[in-house]
Amino acid sequence: MKESDFPEGTEFYIKEFDVPLAHIPTKGWVNFFGGNARAYNVEGLKPGNNWPASSFGEWLKIVNESKK
């Protein structure tokens, strides 16, 4: 998986230290935990339990760790 696989404007987030989320302009919120993309219900997002990833590399590391 590479950043260029995502449409322009995709934002990468981390929830509770180990859940990789992405906000994809054409799809909405997507959870990549375990490496499989699936829709994410934003009701699970609360102030303080998620933050923007500092880089795509940081986000991808969380995705890869969630596959173990």
Q: Domain ranges in the chain?
A: 3-66
7-60: pLDDT as tens digits: 999 999 999 999 999 999 989 999 999 999 999 999 999 999 999 999 999 999
Residue 60 pLDDT: 98
CA distances (Å), origin 26, targets 2, 6, 39: 17, 10, 12
- At 60, which amino acid appears? L
pTM for the model: 0.93
